Amino acid sequence: AGLASGCLLGRRLVCCSETASTNSDAFHLAEEGAEEGTVVLADRQLAGKGRLGRRWESPAGVNLYCSVVLRPELPPYEAPQLTFLSAVAVARAIHTSTGLQPVIKWPNDLLLNGRKVAGLLNEMNAETDRVGFVILGIGVNLNMREDQFPPDLRSPATSLLLETGSAVVRQAFAVNLLRELEREYLRFTQNGFGPVREDWTRYCNAFGREVRVEMGPHTLQGPFAGIDHDGALLMTLPDGRIERILSGDVTVI
């Protein structure tokens, strides 16, 4: 009950000790008509999902696994705006809880000292011209110890505990996160994507830098020029044109 911090997010809260994936649970609830603001939390995920069929390591007791049902009035191609919105909210929650300032790596990673501390997976159910619902999936490594990561993730990934040396109280973090998310979402419904884009760009590790984007066999390099309203990364080309990049691996140079 302590989680119901504002008036929207968490007004229905589903907590489970273990589940396959909180995103899948939230998706099913939304299909059955769950109201906006429904939140699913789990202590452990047995099949936590990343993007593109990848896996999200989800051991018991140490981290936050959270999925939020939203029903925004948006055309489907603008749904990626909510990923940026949730990245800003997670960055703020991490800052409030630890004093550390994470950076955002396009499109959906949060990094501390170059290592991934949180990931976002948004899934949508859309009709042709409008979004039915969006599930914001948020995984944050709070108190995960080094030996709880599989060996191949020990250097690319981290947790708040590993960065600060002190444990984070999970419930307090969840309250912070839902508060930040609610604030961002209300601002977004009132003022649109502009302010979210500004904040996201400021937190982005590529802000003011040169980036290289690898897209299969193709590579493009140039100054980062922000994000477009559909989530595309913008890059300034040598002739001054702006290139829109919809997916790829970004390295900041």
Q: For the sheet containing 249-252, what is the strand order?
A: 242-245, 233-236, 218-227, 210-215, 249-252
Whether residue 107 is preceded by a cis peptide bond, meaning omega within 30 degrees of 0, is yes
How many Cα atoms occupy the beta-carbon half-sphere of 131 within 13 Å? Answer: 22
Scan residues 186-215 and list those touching ligand BT5 (CB under 6 A): none
- Report the DSSP pairing between strands 64-70 and 131-140: antiparallel
**Cβ pair 48, 63 in contact under 8 A:** no
Work out how close the CB of 212 gets to ligand BT5 at its nearest, in angstroms, rounded to a whole number.
18
Q: Does position 21 bind ligand BT5 by CB under 6 A?
A: yes
Answer yes or no: are the C-beta atoms of 140 and 121 closer than 8 Å: no
Cα 18 to its chain centre, rounded Å, is 21
Closest CB to ligand BT5 among residues 26, 196: 26
Whether residue 45 is annotated as binding a ligand: the answer is: yes
Count residues binding ligand BT5 (CB under 6 A).
Answer: 27
Which C-beta is closer to ligand BT5: that of 21 or that of 143?
Answer: 21
Which CB, 72 or 119, lies closer to ligand BT5? Answer: 119
146 binds ligand BT5 (CB under 6 A): no
Closer to ligand BT5 at the Cβ: 123 or 184?
123
* Angle value at C-alpha 220, between 219 and 225, nearest 5 degrees: 150
Span of 3-11, 79-87, 132-140, 217-225 interacting with ligand BT5 by CB under 6 A: 132-140
* 157 lines the binding site for ligand BT5 (CB under 6 A): yes
Cβ neighbors of 181 (< 8 A, separation 6 or more) are 9, 68, 85, 86, 89, 93, 136
Binders of ligand BT5 among residues 59 to 88 (CB under 6 A) are 65-67
67 labeled part of a ligand binding site: no
By CB under 6 A, residue 50 contacts ligand BT5: yes
Give the one residue of 5, 10, 22, 72 binding ligand BT5; rule: CB under 6 A. 22
DSSP state of 148: G
Nearer to ligand BT5, 139 or 231 (CB): 139
Interface pick for ligand BT5 out of 37, 80, 102, 137 (rule CB under 6 A): 137
Q: Indicate the annotated binding residues for biotin.
A: 21-23, 45, 116
